[in-house]
A and B are shown apart, each in its own frame.
Chain A
Amino acid sequence: MSYTSLSDKDKKEMMSRVGISSMEELFRTIPEGMKLKRELKVPSALTEIELIHHFEKIAKQNKYSEFLSFLGAGAYPHVIPYVVDYLSSRGEFVTPYTPYQPEVSQGTLQAIFEFQTLICLLTGMDVANASLYDGASAAAEAVLMAHRLKQKSNVLIAKTLHPQYRKTIKTYVRNLDIKIEEFGFSETGEIDFESLSSKMDEGTSAVVCQSPNFLGVVEDIKKISDLAHSTKALSVVVVTEPVSLGLLEAPGKLGADIVTGEGQSFGIPLSFGGPYLGFMACLKEFIRQFPGRIAGETKDVDGKRGFVLTLSTREQHIRRERATSNICTNQALCALRATIFLETLGLDGLKELAWQNIQKANYALEKLTQVEGIKRKFHGNFFNEFVIEFSGSLPKVESSLREKGILGGLYLREFYPELENCSLLCVTEMFKREEIDRLVKSLEEALKE
């Protein structure tokens, strides 16, 4: 294939205007010794038909979709209304760049403005940005932001924050004057308040918690935020499963100062982990330290409403090394998908979605705990994920489940050595009752084997 558009005649005419007689002359400023004197060793070109065959063959090496899988843990299978694919694949949304020229980018800008509004409504915060890369890097950006705001070097992070997010935060701060300390969780699966308060002091800039947390348990954000505020630290709440916000109180109403997280649940397929959608929202008073692009409303010379990227003096293209973040390209098309998703579901749809998640997850847990050899690990409230503990060896159960075509959740020992034989399961609206029953029955059999 070739995607160039010059005819032989065009090429000749253009070369003559440029004043060259061979293509090599175009590269005369590159020293000869540096040039590649051979062809690149990449496979010869494939046509469209060959490409499809080639990649279908590769795709068939993936066997995941043959399984009934209860994996969640920061990446959730949810319904995606067809209109999301239909609208978000329009070339007018897919093929422009960042809306630097607002007069020809009103579609993207208004969509960002609507996205920001939706995130504010869901989180209960004043302002939201246009998106960040993903939940993990967004959590890291929140930590950096809290540090800029408070100028204190200690950040306390819940052990129940997604393990990958914790690792990402540690990587981001490793060359800055920020110290990360973790605090544990209690028997209910909620954060251990004693562990947290014993670590808090005047040097703490932020307390970072996830809710529902990595173990699926819903945290008492009000209590955490009050505790954070008692030493003038910021309360940063991370949401990896934002469908929960269709049912649970907005973190902003419970005292959160910064709410950030992963928007994948909103119309973005699992996609083997990316592209996903980092989001962030905060209180108005923190806006000057906020990272990322922000769209704002304004008027044109005729007084008509329009939207622009604004507050750009925070950003790298103006402020360079003093910018609030180095982010430039973000995840705009994913944010558009989330916007279309949320507006299509609407108020009733989102509430119903959240309702079905909590109901189905509760149904599953109830049935599972009736099986001998399985018990509920944490008794804290949960949304659509929960941890179960097996009386026997989990790897054995897992492999016999796999033979029955089921992936029974995420084995937690790798992340929490103390959670031997524990598995994190996710049940969303996508699972039919029969499928949940099949899991229960298969586990029953597996445990008897």
Chain B
Amino acid sequence: MIREPLIFEISGKGKRAFSLPELDVPSREDILQGLPVRENIEGFPQVSEVEIIRHFTRLSKANYCVDEGFYPLGSCTMKYNPKINEKIAAISEFVLSHPYAPFDLVQGNLGILKTTEELMNEITGMDAFSFLPAAGAQGELVGMMLIRAYLEERGNPRKIVLIPDSAHGTNPSSAHICGYNIQEIESNEKGTIDISSLEQNMTEDVAALMITNPNTLGVFEADIKKISEIVHAKGGFVYMDGANMNALVGICRPGDMDVDVIHLNLHKTFSTPHGGGGPGSGPVGVKRELEPYLPLPTIKKSEDKYILDFDRPKSIGRVRSFFGNFLVVVKAMVYILSLGPRGLKEVSEIAVLNSNYVRKSLEKDYFLKYTTPTLHECVFSDKFQKKHGVQNIDIAKRLIDFGVHPPTMSFPLIVQGALMTEPTETESKRDLDLFIDAMKQISKEAKENPEIVKSAPHSSYVRRLDETSAARSPVLRWVEKK
């Protein structure tokens, strides 16, 4: 494979990849008077169009992606991203509309936001949604702010947020920005929330419990109603991280579990592409009593017209500009309409079947710390392989040689050497078997030839990278060599 240089390294004065039409108004130097005009943008690249195309085409080939193959990155729901979503989100009336356009000229856009809200209400059993949050973490922050605003209005915002030790790292981080201290709740031997630990910790100082259901182990918190009851009895709120909603669509609804606030990740459950790390969308859904606090603006229908509603005195305010990641919402709406009620339920059924097939096929080869039945994902660990000096990161890197993206390793923190595996519903049996065979082969290699695993990957664009020195002496940009 050709090693692609940085664009700055192939730059040359006089090369151009784009031209503007000639200026059709008088060109005047005098208007620059008094302005701090820059002399140059040192190092700014100059390349040809062919070079641009080849540069990014070659770079693209150094990426692994869902379009290419199996991507069981747990908790990220790396399902296939339907192409029709992209085509529809590219319709020029959507793409070219200005966010300050008068309401009556963007009725189509506002209608999409309102209709998608209604669809999400039905799917989750909640009463209202805001599509402002740009991603899951912002959704969490907004959700916690709603709870805080509600409590503040009643005189006491409280101090603590309870978070299970199996939670994603954004949960404590979001609650912290919202001004709360974090109290961790231990998981029991089944991997679920320990009710007695919750009862002990649930005081009138606690604003909310943040729960992920199914949790990051893929285990359904079957006591969720009891959990909600305990939290509500002390005047607290139940926040549900909807990152794992892919297990529940059409099966059961967070709203029916007495959850008060939820965020969804449209880039997970609702098939919008992850884009190499965004843009996502993290809409927040609430029950009626929290609706007045939703961020500005919301959309309402008045006399057959959609209007933006800014007149909401209890709202927490704005959390970003304009109306959220609108085009991402368009894609999610296309997805929901393309599947219909039966298709939506099939999503969760097949996601759970695929995951259980993988689990069953590998449970002898890889250690499962928790043997509780799981839904859409399961968390293996490297315990068996560690005896031979092979760790989860080695297994992950070796998978690359087999043409598979590695599972998630950075959490849950309650499983050491985690391999959080989420196959999603879109994968074929052939691709699942490819992964299963690769995992079995790696397990065998760990015993017989651990070196080949520990020095993997062998076939990628680059081999194992030195992350320690990258952090120790950071090089974070190109600098021109003089």
Do A and B assemble together? yes
Residues of B with C-beta under 8 A to A45: 337-340, 342-343
In the assembled complex, B179 has its CB within 8 A of some CB on chain A: yes
In the assembled complex, A230 has its CB within 8 A of some CB on chain B: no
Residues of A with C-beta under 8 A to B274: 95-98, 329
Considering the chains assembled together, what is the distance between the CA atoms of A342 and B17 in angstroms?
10
B23-66: which have CB < 8 Å to A? 23-28, 31-32, 34-38, 41-47, 49, 52-53, 55-57, 59-66
B474 → chain A closest CB, angstroms: 5
In the assembled complex, B323 has its CB within 8 A of some CB on chain A: yes
Are A14 and B276 CB-contacts (below 8 A) given A90-B60, A343-B45, A433-B25? no
Considering the chains assembled together, what is the distance between the CA atoms of A407 and B98 in angstroms?
11
Closest residue of chain A to B66 (Cβ to Cβ) is: A95
Considering the chains assembled together, what is the distance between the CA atoms of A77 and B97 in angstroms?
10
A260-314: which have CB < 8 Å to B? 262, 269-276, 287, 293-302, 304-308, 310-313
Residues of B with C-beta under 8 A to A358: 31-32
Size category of the B interface is: 35 or more
In the assembled complex, A179 has its CB within 8 A of some CB on chain B: no
Are A270 and B316 CB-contacts (below 8 A) given A104-B63, A326-B173? no
Considering the chains assembled together, what is the distance between the CA atoms of A254 and B36 in angstroms?
9
In the assembled complex, A388 has its CB within 8 A of some CB on chain B: no
Are A26 and B349 CB-contacts (below 8 A) given A92-B60, A344-B52? yes
Considering the chains assembled together, what is the distance between the CA atoms of A254 and B26 in angstroms?
30
Sampled A-B contacts (16; CB under 8 Å): A18-B357, A27-B252, A55-B330, A77-B98, A97-B73, A97-B76, A103-B464, A121-B41, A171-B316, A274-B279, A310-B470, A343-B7, A343-B17, A345-B17, A346-B47, A356-B20
In the assembled complex, B201 has its CB within 8 A of some CB on chain A: no
In the assembled complex, A371 has its CB within 8 A of some CB on chain B: no
In the assembled complex, B178 has its CB within 8 A of some CB on chain A: yes
Contacting pair A330 B135 (CB below 8 A): yes
B251-272: which have CB < 8 Å to A? 251-253, 256-257, 265, 267, 271
Considering the chains assembled together, what is the distance between the CA atoms of A131 and B46 in angstroms?
23
Contacting pair A29 B373 (CB below 8 A): yes
In the assembled complex, A416 has its CB within 8 A of some CB on chain B: no
Contacting pair B470 A62 (CB below 8 A): no
Closest residue of chain A to B376 (Cβ to Cβ) is: A26
Closest residue of chain B to A340 (Cβ to Cβ) is: B56
- Surface stretch bound by A, among B232-240, B381-389, B422-430, B443-451: B422-430
Are A96 and B65 CB-contacts (below 8 A) given A5-B426, A333-B278, A355-B23? yes
In the assembled complex, B225 has its CB within 8 A of some CB on chain A: yes
Are A134 and B341 CB-contacts (below 8 A) given A90-B60, A97-B73, A248-B35? no
Contacting pair B318 A336 (CB below 8 A): no
Residues of B with C-beta under 8 A to A44: 340-341
Contacting pair A62 B107 (CB below 8 A): yes
Residues of A with C-beta under 8 A to B275: 93-94, 331-334, 336
B396-446: which have CB < 8 Å to A? 396-397, 400, 405-406, 408, 410-411, 425-429, 431
Residues of B with C-beta under 8 A to A254: 36
Contacting pair A164 B44 (CB below 8 A): no
Contacting pair A306 B462 (CB below 8 A): yes
Are A321 and B182 CB-contacts (below 8 A) given A18-B356, A249-B37? yes
Residues of A with C-beta under 8 A to B354: 14
B314 → chain A closest CB, angstroms: 13
Contacting pair A164 B322 (CB below 8 A): yes
Chain A contributes a number of interface residues (CB within 8 A of B) equal to 201
Residue of A90, A304, A313 most packed against chain B (CB within 10 A): A90
Considering the chains assembled together, what is the distance between the CA atoms of A138 and B340 in angstroms?
37
B460 → chain A closest CB, angstroms: 4
Considering the chains assembled together, what is the distance between the CA atoms of A106 and B122 in angstroms?
41
Q: Is the interface of B mostly helix, strand, loop or mixed?
A: loop
Closest residue of chain A to B456 (Cβ to Cβ) is: A103
Are A162 and B20 CB-contacts (below 8 A) given A97-B276, A133-B135, A300-B463? no
Contacting pair A42 B122 (CB below 8 A): yes
Closest residue of chain A to B123 (Cβ to Cβ) is: A40
Residues of B with C-beta under 8 A to A356: 20, 23
A330's partner among B42, B97, B111, B278 (CB-CB below 8 A) is: B278
Considering the chains assembled together, what is the distance between the CA atoms of A220 and B34 in angstroms?
10
A63's partner among B105, B145, B178, B334 (CB-CB below 8 A) is: B105
Considering the chains assembled together, what is the distance between the CA atoms of A55 and B372 in angstroms?
44
Residues of A with C-beta under 8 A to B276: 93-94, 96-99, 105, 108, 111, 332-333, 336
Closest residue of chain B to A90 (Cβ to Cβ) is: B60
In the assembled complex, B138 has its CB within 8 A of some CB on chain A: yes
Residues of B with C-beta under 8 A to A87: 52-53, 56-57, 60
Contacting pair A83 B465 (CB below 8 A): no
Contacting pair B16 A349 (CB below 8 A): yes
Residue of A93, A294, A312 most packed against chain B (CB within 10 A): A93
Contacting pair B23 A359 (CB below 8 A): yes
Contacting pair B470 A298 (CB below 8 A): yes
Residues of B with C-beta under 8 A to A198: none
Residue of A4, A135, A345 most packed against chain B (CB within 10 A): A4
Closest residue of chain A to B257 (Cβ to Cβ) is: A34
In the assembled complex, B475 has its CB within 8 A of some CB on chain A: yes
Top 6 nearest A-B pairs (CB, nearest first) are A273-B322, A45-B340, A333-B275, A273-B99, A175-B179, A91-B67
A9 → chain B closest CB, angstroms: 9
Considering the chains assembled together, what is the distance between the CA atoms of A300 and B321 in angstroms?
41
Contacting pair A332 B278 (CB below 8 A): yes
Residues of B with C-beta under 8 A to A107: 56, 59-63
Considering the chains assembled together, what is the distance between the CA atoms of A15 and B276 in angstroms?
34
Residue of B140, B318, B476 most packed against chain A (CB within 10 A): B476
In the assembled complex, B245 has its CB within 8 A of some CB on chain A: no
Considering the chains assembled together, what is the distance between the CA atoms of A260 and B266 in angstroms?
27
Residues of B with C-beta under 8 A to A218: 35-36
Contacting pair B251 A27 (CB below 8 A): yes
Residues of B with C-beta under 8 A to A302: 463
Residues of B with C-beta under 8 A to A295: 476
Contacting pair A433 B93 (CB below 8 A): no
Considering the chains assembled together, what is the distance between the CA atoms of A121 and B212 in angstroms?
42
In the assembled complex, A237 has its CB within 8 A of some CB on chain B: no
Contacting pair B4 A110 (CB below 8 A): yes
B156-173: which have CB < 8 Å to A? 157, 168-170, 172-173
